[in-house]
Amino acid sequence: MLTASDASAWESAPAQVREEYFDAHRAFERAVAGRGTTVVGAALADADTATTLRHGPAGGLTVTDGPFVELAEQIGGFYLVDLPDLDAAVAAAALLPASYAVEIRPVIEIEGYEPA
């Protein structure tokens, strides 16, 4: 699950609103623990701290500071969870702060690829 929100909203949020965010995350974590497992979850630094790597058509590598696109809504964190089905994932994700857009994606295995 990827969480996206307006990065500036957190900076300007009063303590009470920040506590509401924390409460929502705790509710999400309890819901996942009740039906599955949180493998890992983390907040990400703001997009302006990103380093972007791109391979050019001639094989060169370009490394740039900052995000590739300028959007108000940025990926702000993620949870890797193991839940029984999409319905359980949707129910848990609905507990996260209402200002978030949450993208749920399954983890897939690529045939023929074995991690090192």
CB atoms within 10 A of CB 70: 9
In a domain, 12, yes or no: yes
In a domain, 55, yes or no: no
Residue 56, domain member (yes or no) = no
- Asked, for residue 37, whether it belongs to a domain, the answer is yes
pTM above 0.85, yes or no: no
pLDDT band, very low/low/confident/very high, at 108 (cuts 50, 70, 90)? confident
User: Is there a domain that residue 109 lies in?
Assistant: no
Q: How far apart are CA 107 and CA 37, in angstroms?
A: 14
CATH of the domain at 74: 3.30.70.1060
In total, how many domains does the chain have? 1
Task: Answer yes or no: is 114 within a domain.
Answer: no
Distance, in Å, from the CA atom of 13 to the CA atom of 79, rounded to the nearest integer, reads 22
Give Cα separations from 102 to 5, 14, 94 (angstroms): 9, 23, 8
Q: Is 70 left (phi over 0), alpha (psi -120 to 50) or beta?
A: beta
Domain assignment of residue 59, yes or no = no
Q: Quick one: 17 exposed, middle or buried, by C-beta within 10 A (0-12, 13-18, 19+)?
A: middle
Percent over 90 (pLDDT), the chain: 44
Under the banding of pLDDT at 50, 70 and 90, the label for residue 69 is low
Give every CB contact of residue 111 below 8 A, 6+ residues apart in sequence. none
Residue 110 is assigned to a structural domain of this protein: no
What range defines the domain where residue 82 resides? 2-49+66-103
